[in-house]
Structure 1
Amino acid sequence: MKNIVVLVSGGGTNLQALIDAEKSEGLGGGKITCVIASKPDAYALTRAADNGIKTRVLARRDYADVAAYSKAMADALKEEQADLVIYAGFMTILDEQVCDAFRYKMINVHPALIPSFCGKGYYGLHVHEEALKKGVKVTGATVHFVTAECDAGPIILQKAVEVRNGDTPEILQKRVMEQAEWKILPRAARLFCEGKITVKDGITVIDD
């Protein structure tokens, strides 16, 4: 069994998708063993507790800078013997102390088709606002490995979602979550735990 540690900051809808997937079809031999939140009031902690999953709070505000917070997170992940770390709405930047220690063992879901609408400042509703401003006809979600550079790690999975007339950022956000994020994040976790993802020259190869 591979230990999956999920990092959260807010409501935890992506966490719920992972929990539901684990219950219904499994995560390829992986098990969510701990949820770590960057905010003590994150509703994701309630979702975890309701499903019997261990929780920890590592509040960003308790640390002077990114380096101190990253060291604490790296230590926590090692304590939890994490085989896979999943960002599920985790809104705090971690530096190379974590990324190097868990190289190609950390994945994130981003609500756009990378390399579009990604990088610093592109998070949450901002992503969908920018997509609508540009008038794109297709958007979607991407699961990628986490590196020290924001949204720049090797892409694992992507799924496209139609942009419709009359969409607001909120409506588009909901569609992207339902049609893409909640589907490809559990699938990526399953592929990882089954040992079906390899990285060659910065590009993933999926043995599916």
Structure 2
Amino acid sequence: MKRIAVLVSGGGTNLQALIDAQGRGEIINGSIAAVISSSPDAYALERAEKAGIPGYVIDWRDYPSNRAMTAALVDKLRQLDIQLVVLAGFMTILTEEMVRAFPNAILNIHPALIPSFAGPGCYGLHVHEKALAYGVKLSGATVHFVSPECDGGPIVLQKAVEVLPDDTPEVLQRRIMEQCEWKLLPQAVSLFCQDRLSVEGRTVRILDK
């Protein structure tokens, strides 16, 4: 059984999707062992408490740099014997020490079809604002392994939704969360925990059971 840590900063809707999937028995050979927040005020910590999952705070304001915070986070993850790290709305940029500590064992969910609308500055509503401004007909979500390049790691799963003429960034965000993010992230986590993801360069292959 692989021990999973979910890293959060805010409301924790993707965390809730993982908690719900775990409750339904959909995360095979894995269990959420910890929720770690970069903010003591994150509602995601309340979600963890309600689910009986230990919550921890590593407040970015307590550290002089992202590198120092990353080092503290790696230490905590090692203390907790974590095998998979999931970034679920974690708003602090981690330095390369995290990737070195957990190679091909950090999953992130991005609210667009990478490589579109990805990279520095593309987070939250900004992603959907950019998609609408560009006039794309499809958007969606991507689960990928984390690499030193922002949003640049190998892609695990993607799912698309139609962009409708009257969409606002908020409406598009909600559709992508409901139809893509909340489905893809638990699926990718379960595949990892079953040792069914094989990384070959930039390609992630899903192995048969």
Task: Please classify the TM superposition score into its range, dividing by the shorter chain length.
Answer: over 0.9
Cα offsets for 1:146-186 (capped at 9, x unmatched): 11110000000000011001100000000000000000000
Which segments of 5 or more consecutive residues in structure 1 lack a partner in the other structure? none
Match of 2:101 in 1: 101
Match of 1:182 in 2: 182
Q: CA deviation at 1:25?
A: 2.6
Given residue 175 of structure 1, which amino acid in structure 2 is its aligned partner? R
- Report the secondary structure of 2:123's partner residue: coil
Given residue 27 of structure 2, which amino acid in structure 1 is its aligned partner? L
Query: Aligned partners of 1:201 and 1:116: how far apart in 2?
Result: 20
Given residue 9 of structure 1, which amino acid in structure 2 is its aligned partner? S
1:116-135 alignment to 2 at 5 Å?
Answer: 116-135=116-135
1:24-35 alignment to 2 at 5 Å?
Answer: 24-35=24-35
Given residue 72 of structure 1, which amino acid in structure 2 is its aligned partner? A
Which segments of 5 or more consecutive residues in structure 2 lack a partner in the other structure? none
Match of 1:79 in 2: 79
Q: CA deviation at 1:66?
A: 1.1
- Report the secondary structure of 2:35's partner residue: strand
- Report the secondary structure of 1:91's partner residue: coil
Q: CA deviation at 1:108?
A: 0.2
Given residue 161 of structure 1, which amino acid in structure 2 is its aligned partner? V
Give the count of matched residue pairs: 208
| TM-score, reference length from structure 1 | 0.99
Match of 1:207 in 2: 207
1:31-70 alignment to 2 at 5 Å?
Answer: 31-70=31-70
Match of 1:154 in 2: 154
Identity of aligned residues (%): 57
Query: Aligned partners of 1:30 and 1:142: how far apart in 2?
Result: 21
Given residue 86 of structure 1, which amino acid in structure 2 is its aligned partner? V
Q: CA deviation at 1:73?
A: 0.7
Given residue 193 of structure 1, which amino acid in structure 2 is its aligned partner? C
Q: CA deviation at 1:67?
A: 1.1
Match of 2:11 in 1: 11
- Alpha-carbon RMSD: 0.6
